[in-house]
Structure 1
């Protein structure tokens, strides 16, 4: 019989995996991997603010992640180069976050948990928030799926169809910020992008349609969570990195055996 903490960890990971498939697919299609990294790095600043002012980690990371997403969107819309904006903001936010967290004595021991995740400490309240957030993002993606897909494939075609690509880009940025905030307890800020990108990249080899790729990415992410947690339990390895390592193995297998 599995312990309660392991079941909670499994359910939390599956909640993340469910939404990581479709959202990660858009990250891959739009080549937003660096954007995901930037938002995840900014989450450390949110952790520092949460600990300093004694409020929810989720609220702090979500606030900072949303601010990062909105700031990047605003700067890019004013003509700034995306890679330059992301490079400046990502490293600046991470640096300020690490400096700020050094002034919070209680956080120094726990820093690794926020960098690499500590899924085995997820509580019932965390589990409820993770699933509510994941289902909300999934509902948003389903609702806007066709518009998001059209804007991703061709922005000119989207505008001709009456779709504003800027709104769809902003919605994706907000969804990404929410998932980053949810994921920090599971895989940590340094591995969040990996959980979004690797299952989607692995599913690309199997995809016949965008919908199938998103569904396969979710399945790969779910199996990565289950096998990664199982490996962590039996091999006594860190849970978050173990999940990502299993996802990487799936990617390697599908890459080797993919159809030419």
Structure 2
């Protein structure tokens, strides 16, 4: 079954959707869209370092994404506006990564594949990494779900309940780094944030509970991956961007449903 490249691509897309769904909800609730974007941009530097030191792309991108997220967390609130800090770090990391790649002699690298994804080239080994990372993210978020919700709702309430909001932020940071590392092969650096944010945003009008929103985001992300791959096959368009386009259309559809829904 896994000899069919479209089946492998579909399984990879579903794996990324599973990882991105619960994490994307917290990104939306906490208004961390630019934070996720900055972490994703740093992944290119991780790719360059991985190739330079002949180590796993997954490990390199995860470590650099984690370092970027931790740097943002440490520097925020120290005289830098958050949007300015994220803009500087995100674009600097991307630029340094692209420059570093150009210095790698004897290494052939398709930058477009890392920028926009190459889901059709996913191998069995890639699938194992993607689904292993997705399972880790789901287990991590599920383990800290109640504490994460409380600290997201109100930090004072979290402190009163014996929950450390900074620790929960680190949990999200780790989950984000893992998601970036597993998604880079599927949708690429420039579209990872879209797969985090758009399905979660599309699920919001359809949900009455946080758990319902996470589940709906997973369904929307999964359908976006499958339909986007089919559209890419039929219309001969790039697979990663096609998946994001389908997710964007789902966001438009649920927004229209919310706007035209009769008031209770």
Q: What range is the shorter-chain TM-score in?
A: over 0.9
What is the rounded CA distance, in whole Å, between the counterparts of 1:2 and 1:130 in structure 2?
A: 15
What does 1:103-142 align with in structure 2 at a 5 Å threshold? 103-105=103-105, 110-142=110-142
Tell me the equivalent position of 1:202. Answer: 202
- Give the whole-Å Cα distance in 2 for the aligned partners of 1:26 and 1:46: 24
What's the CA shift for 1:82?
Answer: 2.3
**CA displacement, residues 6-25 of structure 1 (integer Å, 9 cap, x when unaligned):** 11111111011112111100
Q: Is the 8 A contact 1:203 1:213 kept in 2?
A: yes
1:18 corresponds to which residue?
18
Structural mapping, 1:55-70, within 5 Å? 55-70=55-70
Give, in angstroms, the shift of residue 70 of structure 1.
1.4
**Match of 1:170?**
170
SS at the partner of 2:237?
A: coil
Structure 1 CA distance for aligned equivalents of residues 94 and 41 of structure 2: 5
CA contact (8 A) 1:191 1:241 kept: yes
The 2-side partners of 1:159 and 1:79 are apart by 25
Give the deviation of 1:166 after TM superposition. Answer: 0.3
Q: Relative to structure 2, which stretch is displaced further, 202-211 or 84-93?
A: 84-93
Contact 2:25 2:214 in 1 (8 A): yes
Secondary structure of 2:189 counterpart: coil
Stretch deviating more after TM superposition (47-56 or 235-244): 47-56
1:37 counterpart = 2:37 = yes
Q: 1:85 to 1:37 in 2, by over 3 A?
A: same
Task: Provide the C-alpha distance between the structure 2 equivalents of 1:74 and 1:62, rounded to a whole number of angstroms.
Answer: 18
- The structure-2 alpha-carbon separation of the partners of 1:57 and 1:109, relative to structure 1 and needing over 3 Å to count, comes to closer
C-alpha contact 2:19 2:133 (8 A) present in aligned 1: no
Other-structure match for 1:72: 72
Does residue 252 (structure 1) correspond to residue 248 (structure 2)? The answer is: no
The answer on 1:159 being equivalent to 2:124 is no
The 1-side partners of 2:102 and 2:110 are apart by 11
1:238 aligns with 2:207: no
Cα deviations across residues 189-237 of structure 1 (Å, max 9, x unaligned)? 0000000000000001101011101100000000000000111111111
SS at 1:162 equivalent: coil
Equivalent residue number for residue 87 of structure 1: 87
Matched residue pairs, number?
A: 260
Asked if the contact 1:101/1:108 (under 8 Å) is kept, the reply is: no
Gaps spanning 5+ residues in structure 1: where?
A: none
Corresponding residue for 2:50? 50
Q: 1:140 to 1:109 in 2, by over 3 A?
A: closer
Alignment RMSD, CA only?
A: 1.6
1:106–1:15 Cα change, 3 Å: farther
Structure 2: distance between partners of 1:239 and 1:209: 32
Distance 2:136 2:93 in 1: 27
C-alpha separation between the residues in 2 aligned to 1:44 and 1:233? 27
Deviation at 1:132, TM superposition (A): 0.7
Structure 2 residues without counterparts, runs of 5 or longer: none
